[in-house]
Amino acid sequence: MTTQPAPVVRRATSERSTRNAAAVMKALTQEAIDRGLDGITTSSIAKRAGLTTGAVYSRYENNDEMLIALWESVIAPALAAHVRETIDAIISPSTQPSTELITQIEKPSRLLSLGAEFVVMAQRNEVVGEVVIAEVSKWLHDAGLNPKSTSITRAGVALGASIAIGSILRSYVTGSNPGMRMIVDGIHNAYLAAKPTSKPRKTVAPKPIRSATGSPLRDALIDATAEVMSKTGFTGATISRIARKSGVTSGSIYNFYPDKEALMNDAVSELMRTTQRQNLDSKRTASSAKEPNFGLTDSFDFGLIPDRRTWLRFRQECLIATRHHKKTHSEMKKVVLELDAAMKASFPKVDQAIITLVSMGEQAIGYGYSSLFGYTDLFSKCDFDAIMVQVAKQNSL
């Protein structure tokens, strides 16, 4: 007779272990809020939790595993609900956005702020990305950004998700997004009224985003900073790596800039102004030609140009950096305010309150749209023009 092995008896988790696990997660959450996802350290988390670093390492092998645990247990549930509710506010015929949703869009919570940071950093962190990219991609697919949906439905889902993520990213710079209810309602109504685009549009192909300061050395440093930061984030973008990419010695960099933040701020200022000029030029051209979309669709087309992806990833990393670097925050805010002023000056005959909303909406949607490239390959199959034509019509643009 064969003797069966005795079943393994697992000990119940002790009250102390449960308490310590909760303390670590609370400390990890606060550390990420205060320092950013790239800035967490085991020693700081242990100190916050009142534990030893050994006690933290007994639960998590490294920082990436801690971030995955933070995403799965704290961030993902809140962000998933927020993204889905925002999408529903755009594409559902009967759903009206709740006061709670609009509050979160206009002034996002700290947990949602971390959620948007996860969406950006997961695309350059392979370990975290294995979890986050798969999960967020499923949210989008299940909401309707999939091959079985119509091109207008796909566009509506993409716009809802972009608003959900982009309004958070914009709040890093501006602090809040007042008036977003009008933007959400306007896009919802435009979505419901949209008719499929009947003929191919004439698309605009802007020049590549490159620094053009007139100084070859400065241009090389700015372009190299954008490329390196797009792959590593601010923390990982060392002066040595930027020097190698630009072909300039580290010493020469310090002759131009006192530190890495000053170099990044120059890159932010130069490259953001370049892309904003291109976006504004497309609207002026569309307005002069009486294009029914007022040039609002061009930004979506621009984002699909492969050459612009490095710049767009760099911009997203700069948005994250504004949370923890005051000088970068100041520079980003200055450029955003300049765009608002330039929009108003370019269209003095249009209701200035409408121009303010258009500018805010484009920023929020653009930041979110650019953050989601790694989560779907269907943006090129979205009929954004059908919706943007209705947005322009509703606002007499």
Q: Report yes or no on 379 lying in a domain.
A: no
Residue at which a domain ends, from 336, 354, 372: 354
Beta-strand (E) ranges in the chain? none
Distance (Å, rounded) from C-alpha 389 to C-alpha 194? 8
pLDDT at 144 (0 to 100): 97
Computed over every residue of the chain, the mean pLDDT equals 90
**pLDDT tens digits, residue range 56-84?**
998 899 999 999 999 999 999 999 999 99
Given a cut of 80, whether residue 211 has pLDDT beyond it is yes
Tell whether 40 is covered by a domain: yes
pLDDT at 235: 86
Closest CA to 372 of 180, 116, 153: 116
In whole angstroms, what is the distance from residue 299 CA to residue 293 CA? 11
For 139, half-sphere exposure in the C-beta direction (CA atoms, 13 angstrom radius) is 27
Collapsing DSSP to helix, strand or coil, 353 comes out as helix
> What pLDDT, on the 0 to 100 scale, is given for residue 69?
95
Tokens, residue 375: 């989560």
Q: Note whether residue 143 is domain-resident.
A: no
In a domain, 287, yes or no: yes
9 or 94, which is more confident? 94
- Which range in 137-141, 202-206, 246-250, 283-287 is most confidently predicted, on average pLDDT? 137-141
Kindly report the number of other CB atoms within 10 A of residue 252's CB atom.
14
Is the residue at 298 inside a domain? yes
| pLDDT in the model for residue 265 | 87
Contacts of 186 (CB under 8 A, 6+ apart): 357, 361, 391, 394, 395
Q: Which two tokens stand for residue 323?
A: 């949370």
Q: pTM for the complete prediction?
A: 0.91
Specify the length of the chain in residues.
397
Which phi and psi angles does 275 have, rounded to 5°? -70, -35
Q: Is residue 248 included in any domain, yes or no?
A: yes
- The C-alpha angle 390, 393, 394, rounded to 5 degrees, equals 85
In a domain, 42, yes or no: yes
Residues 367 and 169 sit within 8 Å (Cβ to Cβ): yes
Checking if the pLDDT of 10 tops 60, the result is: no
Tell the burial category of 263 from Cβ atoms under 10 Å away from its Cβ (0-12, 13-18, 19+). Answer: buried
Residue 49 makes CB contacts below 8 A (sequence gap 6+) with 20, 23, 24, 26, 27, 55, 56
Q: Give the 3-state secondary structure of residue 53.
A: helix
194 falls in which pLDDT band (50, 70, 90)? very high
Cα 21 to Cα 10, 54, 69, 101: the distances in Å are 18, 13, 11, 31
What are the two backbone dihedrals, phi and then psi, of residue 370, each rounded to the nearest 5 degrees? -65, -25
Number of domains the chain contains: 2
27: containing domain? 17-60
pLDDT in the model for residue 11: 47
> In terms of Cα–Cα distance, which of 311, 320, 299, 310 is closest to 270?
311
**201-205, 269-273, 369-373: the lowest-pLDDT one:** 201-205
Amino acid identity, residue 28?
L
CATH number at residue 232: 1.10.357.10
**93: Cα separation from own chain's centroid:** 27
Task: Quote the tokens at residue 203.
Answer: 């698309």
Provide the pLDDT for residue 380: 93
Per-residue pLDDT for 174 more than 60?
yes
Summarize the confidence of residues 132-148 as an average pLDDT: 97
Give the chain's radius of gyration (CA, Å). 23
Lowest mean pLDDT among 105-119, 199-213, 226-240: 199-213
Query: Does the residue 341 lie in any domain?
Result: yes
Q: Residue 201's pLDDT band (boundaries 50, 70, 90)?
A: low
3 or 294, which is more confident?
A: 294
Q: Which amino acid is at 274?
A: T
**Spatial contact of 95 and 88, defined as CB atoms under 8 Å apart:** yes
Helix (H, G, I), strand (E, B) or coil at 154: helix
Mean pLDDT score, 171-181 = 93
Q: Give the tens place of pLDDT for each residue, 14-41.
A: 777 888 889 999 999 999 999 999 999 9
Phi/psi of residue 351, each to 5°?
-50, 120
